[in-house]
Structure 1
Amino acid sequence: MKTQETLSESTKTSEVPKIKLALEPELKKAAKEEAVKEAKRNKPPEKNKLPIPTGWRILVLPFQMKEKTRGGVILAETVIERQQVASQCGLVLAMGPDCYRDYKRYKQGPWCKIGDWVLFARYAGSRIKIEGGEVRMLNDDEVLATVKNPEDLLHEY
């Protein structure tokens, strides 16, 4: 009888749940760190360090992909940089004073506004290196469409 009680107690307190419980705080911490990294990655740079668009130019921050794939593969920095250069989606940071002012050409009004995610041609605009990455200076007519969430688009990796 005592051996059965000892056996049932040992199965209740097996090592697997203890290990899982011991790792749980680490897993939560790692998930929180990943969320912070994600927020920093697509955070617009400081405004006072950015170039100010003139005329009909639009300043766009290209979308930055995640460092890990859905399968958990960590991508090299060069792959991430290459993807950012070829990115076709970006966040509108600033607009020049003449953007969409040609009422004959833009009868329906502006195609985008500050804070919108926009699509543009793969190598459109001028690439400007800044601390932490790069921004693009586009003409107002190079905006192809707006999107609600860039994560919904299919990216290369």
Structure 2
Amino acid sequence: MAEINLRPLADRVLVEPSAAETKTASGIIIPDTAQEKPQQGKVVAVGNGKVDEPMTVKVGDTVLYGKYGGTEIKHNGVDYLIMREADIFAVIG
């Protein structure tokens, strides 16, 4: 992965969403228009947190977030989500 030159501020987290499922378990191909938005991704950058709320996620964590969580941004041709740490439901692993 290339180095990210985006630095989230305060309690924000930059997440690279996992790829959407393109095939069902039984092998049926899902068209782009019917694919579910991924609800997990990898943390690629974190802010410094707030004075009274230190950050609990770190770069490299795989996280679960809400279906419509975060704001979609594109940087250097890669899609990311930027969201508050409070929008993250869980860390996987």
2:19 to 43, 61, 64: 64
Match of 1:89 among 25, 40, 43: 40
User: Which consecutive segments of 4 or more residues in structure 1 shift more than 4 A?
Assistant: none
Structure 2: which 5+ residue stretches go unaligned? none
Task: Give yes or no for contact 1:111–1:143 (8 Å, CA) kept in 2.
Answer: no
> Which structure is higher in strand share?
2
Check whether the contact 2:13–2:45 (CA below 8 A) recurs between aligned residues. yes
Pair 53,105 (structure 1): closer, same or farther in 2 beyond 3 Å: closer
Number of equivalenced pairs: 92
* Partner-residue secondary structure (3-state), 1:135: strand
Partner of 1:29: none
Q: Give the 3 Å change call, closer, same or farther, for CA 122–67 of structure 1 in structure 2.
A: closer
Tell me how large the CA RMSD over aligned residues is. 2.3
- Name the SS of the counterpart of 2:23 in structure 1: coil
Greater helix fraction, Structure 1 or Structure 2 = 1
Structure ranking higher on relative contact order (CA contacts 8 Å, 6+ apart): 2
| One-letter code aligned to 1:95 | V
**Equivalent residue for 2:80?**
135
SS of structure 1 residue aligned to 2:21: coil
Q: Greater CA radius of gyration, 1 or 2? A: 1
Give me the TM-score of the superposition, normalised by structure 1. 0.49
Q: Judging changes above 3 Å, is the alpha-carbon distance between structure 1 residues 136 and 112 closer, same or farther for their aligned structure 2 residues?
A: same
Partner of 2:58: 113
Among all aligned residue pairs of Structure 1 and Structure 2, give the percentage whose two residues are the same amino acid. 27
TM-score (norm 2): 0.75
